[in-house]
Structure 1
């Protein structure tokens, strides 16, 4: 079996993806993927993730936040992991998966909750925790999958 590989030889699907990260058939035009492994400052990571969330591309925002999680200091890993989980929760909601959305939104809120008083890098942790719990409750009641940009959070207050 032939597998797609990246430049480093790691297995990586070369299939194009839509704006919510779903694989499309080979040969179709997809949305450009976020480059992986980019080391950014916290400010750059938050700005880029917010831009992608506002553009309705939460899957891509999650990739930016995941890079920050993997490259940042150990003391901040839970912050970045939780923010990435919130972006994946929005992705699941916009894909019409309320169960997955609720689980990821709650998990993300739990990850960042302990930082509520610190406001690391200007992140509105209390606001995000409240938003995540409210959306997790609401997502199962949507008649159809909401547009990702319409439910995107504000990362900073």
Structure 2
């Protein structure tokens, strides 16, 4: 029998840490990345720290977006931002912000969703302008910027929780 007051699957000391004391974040999550109670069946998490080629990143993120899992797509973009070349980090960070913005919009957080969609659009647009590159790795950055700004406007206007899969952007043409 476990300690009194602990949920199934929750560490006995209440802290979700690895042997070095770092947070493991192993709590189950739903398809939009929201934490579920310990012991609940959640959606399989994306492995962290995976190094992919840029085209693999785009393909995996697109599959997750199409499946209505923008939170998980954000984690794929985050891996690219953390492991990619310094001069591409702003691009991948901006794409991660777009995915998180869609996540918040799908969760019903209009203010946070719109803010992140606009921030991500600005980052992606700024990165592309500095490099005169609108289609790196087959992505349509101009189309993504337009998508993000249009969705932000709708969400701010009360479109309230959106369907993440139906609203998912096409990264490429």
Scaled by the length of structure 1, the TM-score of the pair is 0.94
- How many residue pairs get aligned? The number is 157
Partner of 2:54: 42
The answer to whether the aligner puts 1:136 opposite 2:148 as a matched pair is no
Q: What SS does the corresponding residue of 1:12 show, helix, strand or coil?
A: coil
Q: Which runs of 5+ in 2 are unaligned?
A: 1-12
Partner of 1:83: 95
What is the deviation of 1:31? 0.2
Which deviations, in whole Å up to 9, do the C-alpha atoms of 1:57-96 show, x marking residues without a partner? 0000000000000000001001100000000000000000
Matches for 1:4-15 after TM superposition, within 5 Å: 4-6=16-18, 9-15=21-27
Q: Which runs of 5+ in 1 are unaligned?
A: none
Q: Distance in 2 between matches of 1:19 and 1:103?
A: 21
Partner of 2:166: 150
Higher-Rg structure is 2
Scaled by the length of structure 2, the TM-score of the pair is 0.86
The answer to whether the aligner puts 1:69 opposite 2:85 as a matched pair is no
Partner of 2:112: 100
Give me the CA root mean square deviation: 1.5
Q: Distance in 2 between matches of 1:7 and 1:31?
A: 25
Q: Distance in 2 between matches of 1:95 and 1:145?
A: 6
What is the deviation of 1:102? 0.5
